[in-house]
Copies of this chain bind each other. A is one copy, B any other.
């Protein structure tokens, strides 16, 4: 940055969070019912202004904490939206972050206070401003990232079954996957630790629980990095 002639005092900086959750076989989004004009009654992403003394990535963390009560949320910056006129309240540049949370770990009381609700990604209500575009780009980034990094586990409980994991991938990619091929591929990576326990809520037989093995993944990634080669998970 060399040109110091144009301070931009009138631009305000905000963050908006695209909060993904997963349950059953559905990927969903946590939205806020907007209680004031303009666009009263529509739904919106949860957001807030960046504080003067706060690092950028802290800002969505604070916002998410206030909405869900959760710390330690997986967050990724997506895009800056800031065209003139995108927000009728003045020049607001908004940084979007997507968040992956384990559904049902969030604080229901806080959610109620914010008039927040989960919506299936396939059936979203009308959103204010350019929030729909924000969701679209976040989903695109989630899809691309999921393919090459094991971030999906942030949407699942620590222990999960292979059918659950497959459903998650299907929900993210928006298409059905062959179960035999999925298992073979995902297990061959060696980044899942099979447990003795079974989860029986979905079937009589029960499905074995697995846990993500971060150490194994780090080694795998290290190897790929050494050879300057792309790592594709599924």
Contacts and interface: CB of A to CB of B under 8 A. Distances in A.
Nearest to A148: B144
Contact of A2 (B5, B44, B77, B228): B44
A8 B52 contact: yes
Instruction: List the number of copies, as a whole number.
Output: 2
Contact of A1 (B5, B10, B51, B94): B94
B7 A12 contact: yes
A82 interface: yes
A91 B8 CA distance: 11
Interface stretch (A53-61, A158-166, A190-198, A200-208): A53-61
B1 A92 contact: yes
Nearest to A128: B1
A167 to B, nearest CB: 16
A217 interface: no
Interface in A7-52: 7-16, 32, 34, 44-52
Nearest to A46: B2
A84 B50 CA distance: 11
A106 interface: no
Contacts of A175: 227-229
Nearest to A15: B1
Given A12-B9, A79-B77, A230 B2 contact: no
25 contacts: A1-B16, A1-B45, A1-B87, A1-B92, A2-B34, A2-B47, A2-B48, A3-B47, A4-B49, A4-B89, A5-B48, A6-B48, A6-B51, A8-B49, A8-B51, A9-B12, A11-B12, A11-B13, A11-B50, A55-B82, A56-B82, A56-B93, A77-B80, A147-B230, A175-B228
